[in-house]
Amino acid sequence: MKLIVGLGNPGREYEKTRHNVGFMVMDRISDVMNVSIDMKKFNGEYVKFKYQGEDVILLKPMTYMNNSGESVIQMMNYFKINVSDLLVIYDDMDMPVGKLRLRESGSAGGHNGVKSIIAHVGTQSFKRIRVGIDKHPRIKVIDYVLGRFHKDEQPLIDEGIENAVKAVEVFLEKDFVTAMNRFN
């Protein structure tokens, strides 16, 4: 069983903000897979379905970013999911808008949602897809990540989201190393 988690913040005021790229990717995956992320439990919204014979769960933690690990560990414990089957998708300010970086482990890199997952899961050895959102030298970090993409950035983030979805498909159909080789 694979657990794919997209990080973001719940609520209409956070929709389409830079910090919610993980949620945007999850919504796009659900469209492509023709499923609805509409079950509410484990401090999150999720859907469980079969993909090429394997159980897959898409999870959007509803704990707010800084507590994402609470939802992730509840889901992992309930469904007995091994950390090797966890994939987390989230935004990264240190990369250009829409660029992807896939890794099998690593530090939180200052991302509070990932810090929370590492604290709750007890390891930083889990798969991740980081989607670039860039940064602005004159805008405070919190204001920037909670802001929306500019018109000229929209095609770049749309492409990044589509590529993240394709990377997830490669992960499910083949393996994560193949996805890393193709999308890094």
Query: 69: Cβ–Cβ under 8 A, 6 or more apart, which residues?
Result: 113, 115, 116, 117, 118, 119, 120, 121
CA atoms in the 13 A half-sphere facing the CB of 180:
10
Q: What is the four-CA torsion angle of 83, 86, 88, 94, rounded to 10 degrees?
A: 50
SS3 category, 14: helix
Q: At what angle do helices 68-79 and 112-121 cross, to 10 degrees?
A: 40
Maximum C-alpha span of the chain:
49
Catalytic residues: 19
* Alpha carbon distance 148, 92 (integer Å): 14
**Calpha distance 22→116 (Å, rounded):** 15
